[in-house]
Amino acid sequence: MAKKPFSVDLLAELVKRVPEGYLEWWQIREQFDGEKMNGSWKSISKEASQRGVGCKGLTFFDASRVSWRDVCQKQKWSRPQIPAITSGGTVAGPTIQELAQMRKHRICELTCPDEIQAILRLDRSDEGCLWLESFGDIPNYHGVLMRLQEQNILALSEKFVFDPLRITINAKLTAFLTRRRQEERDVSEAIATLTSHATGIFNEDQWNSLFNDRQRHWLNHQKQVSKISLTAPFPPREHWWMRRGDIDEKTALQYAKSQMKALVQAREEQWKKLLDLCGEVIRPGAKGGKTNRMQVVSRSYRTQPAARRIGLPEKAFLAAIEQGIVPAFRDPDGRLRIPASTVDAIATHEELYEKIADFITLKTRDLAAACGVHRSSMYRRLQKLGASTTRATWGEVRGRWELPATYALYRKALDGNWRAIQQARKAAEEERQQLLLAQKAREEAEKSALREQLIATFPDWRHEQRANQRIKVLLGEANSGKTRAALERLIAAGSGWYLAPLRLLAYEIYDALNRRGIACNLLTGEEEIVVREAQITAATIEMFDARSRGGCVVIDEAHMVGDPDRGWAWTRALMEARAEEMLVLGPLAARPLVERLLYAVGQPFTFEQSSRLVPLRMATTPYRLRDLPARTIVVAFSRGMVLALKADLEQMGRKVSIVYGALPPEVRRRQADRFACGETEICVATDAIGMGLNLPADAVCFYETKKYDGKRVRPLTAMEVHQIGGRAGRFGLAEQGIITALNKVDLDFLRQQFEQTSSPIGQAYVAPSVSDLALLPGRLAARLRQWRELESIPASMRSFIKTADLGDRIELASMLQPEEEAGLGLGAAVKLTHAPARPESRFYWRWCARALVKGDRLPSPPDPPKDLASSDDLVRAEQVIACADLYLWLARTPEFRPFGPCYGEVRRARYALAERIDQALLSRLDTRKRCASCGRVLPLRHRYRLCENCCLDRGYDY
């Protein structure tokens, strides 16, 4: 839906009708077309101030009703909403001031004292909102409030009474009021406790028990109490608090000292009474001491040292104390103590020692080791005994199953058995390690043998045509005439191939040559167009038949030889083509690697560097999205961002074309053609334009400078900036090309990358053949994975040639069952994993694989959506196109051709769907980013799936 036109007059009328008295700029941009406003932000705020609208930062407010300080306070708890707009673009209804005047007249006519009291109470509230129970002291307050609501003097919700001319009820305000009510309750409780306390002086225990954290913080912050510090020999050691106002510090200090003195005396008397329980035996290493406390401590043990003294677990000791077997007492500090004489007696009295040992919990594995049986056997024995299988005690099992009669003998036997078990385990582990080493050695020997076999089958690139081949490496910047020069040589040769990285680029060359009257075929994975008497073929590089002979082969975008996924196709074309003449095109960064590949096979070549026909420079200042000049390419790196940018630009009244990878090639071609012939002003594209796509652009504007490369989000490299930005400035159409961005940070980054020299490409990639995989054992996915890991490349080339990243092929191969692989055969299974199955069409690939194994016809692609009315419909349509491409590829592959009899029908349906997609994009399909919950339009750079309101309503931090 188109945004409503926006003006400062409209802004003034809106602010006058907002109860809170202010609006944020992001709210206005969401609903209105703010991009069409003339003048700078400074002039807009000045013009707004002339209409009584204040402006601070990105906030507009009604200066006649609220001040900036009021707005700052309201922003903590309010969330204003934009008033209703009529279809004519005006604001409906009276202003807040007019409503307030009418409300004042209605209040003057009131005669009921209860009603007047309710209104006065609401008016005195800071937020204009009170809890419903705040009116509970008014007789029949429900009826009073309902009558006032009927007269539009106030409004009611489930929990609140509020002034609709001051506030709008929302989740943010509800949370604020709930939090504040709890704080008020805490404060009132704290004041009541403080004032009702008899002395108003608290030690640390009283302070912590009488007040919670919030209350203590408030009392300190409001200076309702003062802290005084004293030192005592026992807790509370330092801090006391006193009530301020009616108690002076001297009195409180004297009181605290007297209380502490009394506590010390009382505590000393308590320690004295314990001396009789301790006996006369002093712990080893202890001194008698002068005070009663020191004497008790020297003549007793705490539980942990006592357990350590007799060599038993503390838990068993505590259990014996609880059962009354061991006498113990608690000291005034609350600690459990055992007389030293008792501990010494336990250490020497075997019968008493065993009584305590009865409470020791044993581990089942220890019991099994002591008895020399397996743990599972011990579990069964314990179950039969009725004891716990995890917490059996020594008292339950003593003397059973040939166990010793005492705990000490049990420990001795257990230690001996454990040593024997550990020695046996160590010997078994050493044996296992030896077996593993032997197995690893065998595996390494097998891998080495396999690697040698694979190296022996490595392609021999020194074929007999090398001596007569003429190879020219033509490298340079984008828009330097490389492709034009190469095509002229191809035409002069009369036969050969043009190899492109994209179907779109192959189609462009096919179309251009045929328009010039030069017969040219088209060959891609999904389509083949044979032109009568044509000796030249424009093809995607994966479809190149290296055995074919021709006058000339043109390999474009040679830097792709360093792509881990597709680079194998460029390596194969460069090293295996047998044409008399070969032209290799690409950026200068590809030169070192291409030279190393050709030197490796002793192939002579010539090198030529081309320069741009039109100069390329960086913009001095960032562009603005709403002011982009015509013939500008805007670059983003995701489908969603491309579509959102298209929608925003069209909202600004611009005519836009789009180009991204998932779009059908026919649609991309038409979109590019509209931009080329001037039907559209702006082209929003992904980095697909960096693959040699010819667009007559004067400027390339990077909306983003980071991209997701399949593994992580990373900044653009210098080569990517040169390749993509180099599309600006077409020879004969512009005097220069410009690279720019939409903000200074991105522009500075692009300038830094632009001024750097692109890093040279270091590695080429090769892929396995069926014969290579036949040498390896296991299932297809395991063979592919093992071939990648073996890196079976001759030592002379291993520094600059690597095995390709076969992740997609391995994933597809993993979807095949063993019996399906056997039914297809290795060759057909490998071919099937080469299919162009995108993530969104892999489910359909699986259907096709099952059909091929059974010998059935390939299933038809899914039905397209009936209407293309939203971004989701477009995604489903693109998924159907991807499935149709997969069908066409399989139906054209010799191994699977008999199973695709509906090739023509699917191709026509695909073409019709591509036409529908193009028409939907042409009719300005709404592809803006929307909230996944409420459907509200989100800003372009919004990072989340939910809008701010939905995040707050669900309790998320925004």
Give pLDDT tens digits for 752-786. 999 988 888 889 999 999 999 999 999 999 999 99
Q: How confident is the model at residue 803 (pLDDT cuts 50, 70, 90)?
A: very high
CA distances from 194 to 184, 222, 318 (A): 15, 13, 41
Helix and strand element counts for the chain (H, E): 38, 32
Q: Is the pLDDT of residue 845 over 90?
A: yes
Q: How confident is the model at residue 55 (pLDDT cuts 50, 70, 90)?
A: confident
Q: Report the DSSP beta bridge partners of residue 701.
A: 634, 740
What's the average model confidence in pLDDT over 649-663? 85
Q: Is the pLDDT of residue 240 over 80?
A: no
The answer to whether residues 283 and 320 touch, using CB atoms and an 8 Å cutoff, is no
Q: What is the pLDDT of residue 1?
A: 46
CA distance linking residue 727 with residue 721, whole number of Å: 10
CA distance linking residue 713 with residue 695, whole number of Å: 27
Closest CA to 500 of 489, 491, 509: 509
Query: pLDDT per residue over 141-168, tens digit each?
Result: 888 888 888 888 888 887 888 888 888 8
Q: Is the pLDDT of residue 70 over 50?
A: yes
Percentage with pLDDT > 90 across the chain: 26
Reported in sequence order, the residue ranges of 428-580 that DSSP labels E, i.e. its strands, are 470-476, 496-500, 520-523, 528-529, 536-540, 552-555
Q: What is the pLDDT of residue 768?
A: 93
CA distance linking residue 823 with residue 815, whole number of Å: 14
Query: pLDDT per residue over 682-702, tens digit each?
Result: 999 988 777 766 778 889 999
Q: Is the pLDDT of residue 39 over 60?
A: no
The answer to whether residues 564 and 765 touch, using CB atoms and an 8 Å cutoff, is yes
Query: pLDDT per residue over 9-25, tens digit each?
Result: 888 888 888 888 888 87
Dihedral Cα 348, 354, 356, 359, nearest 10 deg: 160
Q: What is the pLDDT of residue 194?
A: 80
Of residues 378 and 90, more confidently modeled:
378
**Does residue 62 sit in helix, strand or coil?**
strand
Query: pLDDT per residue over 940-955, tens digit each?
Result: 777 677 777 677 666 5
- Looking up tokens 């009899």 gives 901
Q: How confident is the model at residue 833 (pLDDT cuts 50, 70, 90)?
A: very high
CA distance linking residue 403 with residue 166, whole number of Å: 84
Q: What is the pLDDT of residue 400?
A: 83
> 40 CB contacts (<8 Å, ≥6 apart)?
none
**236: cis peptide before it, omega within 30°?**
yes
Query: pLDDT per residue over 523-558, tens digit each?
Result: 998 888 999 989 999 999 999 988 887 889 999 999
Q: Is the pLDDT of residue 237 over 60?
A: no
Q: What is the pLDDT of residue 128?
A: 84
Closest CA to 335 of 287, 307, 297, 299: 297
CA angle 90/94/97 to nearest 5° reads: 125
Q: Is the pLDDT of residue 672 over 90?
A: no
Of residues 562 and 91, more confidently modeled:
562
Closest CA to 152 of 83, 227, 94, 69: 94
Q: What is the mean pLDDT of the chain?
A: 85
Range with the poorest average pLDDT among 86-100, 358-372, 654-668: 86-100
Q: What is the pLDDT of residue 282?
A: 85
- Looking up tokens 């299988």 gives 389
Query: pLDDT per residue over 363-380, tens digit each?
Result: 888 888 888 888 888 888
Pairing mode, strands 336-339 and 300-302: antiparallel
CA distance linking residue 585 with residue 587, whole number of Å: 7
Q: What is the pLDDT of residue 236?
A: 47
Q: What is the pLDDT of residue 701?
A: 94
Phi, psi values for residue 633, rounded to 5°: -100, 125
Q: What is the pLDDT of residue 4?
A: 65
Q: What is the pLDDT of residue 438?
A: 93
Residue 79 per-residue DSSP state: -
CA distances from 400 to 352, 385, 389, 395, 396 (A): 20, 10, 15, 10, 9
How many other CB atoms sit within 10 Å of the CB of residue 537? 27
- 10 Å CB burial of residue 867 (0-12, 13-18, 19+) is exposed
Dihedral Cα 275, 280, 281, 285, nearest 10 deg: 70
Phi, psi values for residue 508, rounded to 5°: -60, -45
What's the average model confidence in pLDDT over 821-842? 91
The answer to whether residues 736 and 729 touch, using CB atoms and an 8 Å cutoff, is yes
Residue 835 per-residue DSSP state: S
**Does residue 889 sit in helix, strand or coil?**
helix
Q: What is the pLDDT of residue 712?
A: 81
CA distance linking residue 677 with residue 567, whole number of Å: 34
Reported in sequence order, the residue ranges of 598-673 that DSSP labels E, i.e. its strands, are 606-610, 616-618, 632-635, 656-659
Element (H, E) at 11: helix 8-15
**Does residue 300 sit in helix, strand or coil?**
strand
